[in-house]
Each structure stands twice: as C-alpha cells, then as structure tokens.
Copies of this chain bind each other. A is one copy, B any other.
C-alpha cells in the first residue's frame, strides 16, 4: 500500500464536519478502495473551541486557512468555508501555487474565478476539483467530464437549488402562497434569512455556469447567465401550469446554439410526466443530452452534510488514486472563450398579464402580439379582481427577440399594471 494522502480541511461547518466523519467512519474501506490511507493532518475554522460533533484531537489546528494550505505536511486542501473571495480564494490559490490539490464545494468562487484558478492548478500540476459545488451529492461533473466524455453535448439542464424546488412543490401541494412557504422554509432552515441568493436564482446560476463550461469546453462565464428568480411565481401560475399538464421549476439550461452558448436560469414550465416534472422537494436533478447517448438523467440530494461530504470524498478518492484530469475536463488554457448566443432559442411561453379592466385593452394587447408574429395557442381571462383583469396566454413557439419586443410594448401601455410574467415552456 502506498503512502497516505495527507489532507487539510478548511471550514468546520456542516460540510467540513461531514467530510471528517466520513473519513473517520470509513478509514479501512477508503484505504482498500484507494490503495492508500486517507489521513487528515490539520484543520482550520473561525472558532477553535466549538463542539462540532467530531473528534479533532488528532489534527493540528491553524487559525489561518492560508497557513493551513501552505503546510508542508499537506497534499490535499479541502475548502469548505464558502465565500466567493476572501479567505476561501486566498487559501485555495495558496494551496494550488504550492502544488497541493484542492477540493472545494465553493460554486460562487469558481463561477467567478474558475478560469484563473484552473490555469494555476495546471501550472503546478495540482488537481482542482469541485463535484460538491454542483447538484450536491450527484456525481454529475464526473459523468460529464468522464462517463460521457465520448459525446458532443447538446444541452445540459437541471433543477439545482433545493430551496426553490421545495418552495414551488410545497406551494402546489398545500395551496399556500409564496410568502408563506418561504417563511416556513426559513423556519425549517431550508432557506436563509436573506434568501435572495437562492430564490433569486443566483446560487443555481453559479452551478449552471460550471456545468456549461464542463459540457462545452468553454471558459466559465457566469456573467452571461440570464438569471430570473422565483419570487414572482404565484399559486395561480402553478395551478394554471398544472391544468395544462406542466410544473413550474427553477430550471437551469445551457445549450449549444448555432451562434454560441445559451445559459439561462429561470422558472420554466416542464411536462408533469417528465422526470424534471416529477421532482419533488429539495432533491436536485440534472439532465444531459449527448449526441450519441441521447438523454440521461441524474437525481439525488442537492445539499446537506452527508451528500455534500460524499461528493467531496469522491474527488478526494480520485486524487488518492491518481485519477487527475484538468478541472473542466480539458486543459484550461485551451478552453474556448464562449460566444454567448445572441438571440437565444425559440420556445413557447406562458404569459401572465395584469391589466386594467378597461374596454379595448385586450384588443391592444392582441394586436401588439400579432404585429410581432407572436401567435396565441391558448388564452384565459380570469374573473376581475377589483380593477385588475389577470390574463393568461400561452404562445406558439416564438423567437425570443420578438416576444421581448412585444412584451416591452405591452408593458408601456397605460392599461398594464405590472410587468408581465413570461415563463418559457422548455421542450424535453
């Protein structure tokens, strides 16, 4: 058996403690599988005294994660502190610069700094791995970079934020409003007190940008992800969608169009009978479409101590076994500068308008849609709610630009009381 792989863990929250528990629990099994023992040598966190439910007495302590990353006795640095900059970034860079492997769950850091960090890793021969950063425990980065490596990838998409999926499915199952379910999710610890990063789609968009880079061999381009949260989804939208055979999901889609990569994280309608439509609660699901394999689906827990630790251990085990490939599956320097798709792909849309109940309003709206060749598949006018007349329209497949122009014109009508809600119907 070869010499131990010496590990440092920076961050001792739920995930860090989970990684330590897993290595302590499965020491013999992991050594048998890896052909060498995994040995935690040192740890770091903000507060030394806190009880984290794991025995840390055999590990050296460092107050400074950068000092931890640079220790001579460390081969692999696990970063589970979080934060897109600051100590997380500084310590990962220090580890990579010193030729030490880095395993991180930090989606925000990699979405913003993934390219230079991958280049730094390759310059020193270190591995940079991030399975835990995308879709929790699901080994989807490995599936994309290795298992499906023979395929050209056409589209990768998924539900990658458990909080949002919990809120949307809970609204549907209980008939409660968005605000009420969010409050309950906060009370249960499923949502943060400041929930925007989750419900605004930002967390999921970080993950999507990493998947897109991995799938298409392009540089991470978080800035080009079109992001829309779930805050404006009403119970009525969910019911309307259900009546038509759809569920509303915060869906991330990255696809290769003729003119470039399209990256969207937004609430979409997906068929109720599809795997994505069936996904309930905090689970995550990623769908990958390859040119030879067709469609494959990966489902599992998207967060939590055990699942996140499992993903980190998967990366650690690869490194222990010497299975090291570039962070995004191809040498970082050769990754293409992504050309962002300028027009996006065509789709049918679910539209909800809030209009004044004034004569002629519907005619004006219909004529604007018609003028831009947005054709109506079905329409439903709801009973007036005070002076508001909610109107739902489902379009036929339409170019995105035409729809945007029409919606802007409708929004400018004096009869329009709020920005229309436009949800893409994603074809599966």
Interface residue ranges, A against B (CB under 8 Å): 18, 22, 25-26, 29-30, 32-35, 131, 137-139, 142-143, 145-152, 217, 273, 275, 278, 290-301, 306-307, 309-314, 316-318, 321, 323, 325, 329-331, 334
Contacts and interface: CB of A to CB of B under 8 A. Distances in A.
Given A293-B306, A300-B294, A139 B143 contact: yes
Contact of A150 (B30, B146, B273, B334): B30
Contact of A310 (B25, B273, B292, B314): B292
A158 B140 CA distance: 19
B294 A301 contact: yes
Contacts of A143: 139, 142-143, 147
A293 B317 contact: no
A151 to B, nearest CB: 6
13 contacts: A139-B147, A142-B143, A143-B143, A146-B146, A148-B314, A150-B312, A150-B314, A150-B316, A275-B299, A291-B306, A294-B301, A321-B325, A323-B323
Q: Which 5 A-B pairs have the closest CB atoms?
A: A150-B313, A139-B147, A296-B300, A293-B310, A292-B306
A12 to B, nearest CB: 17
B152 A148 contact: no
B139 A317 contact: no
Contact of A292 (B22, B146, B290): B22
B33 A330 contact: yes
B137 A296 contact: yes
A323 B273 CA distance: 38
A334 B1 CA distance: 12
B137 A294 contact: yes
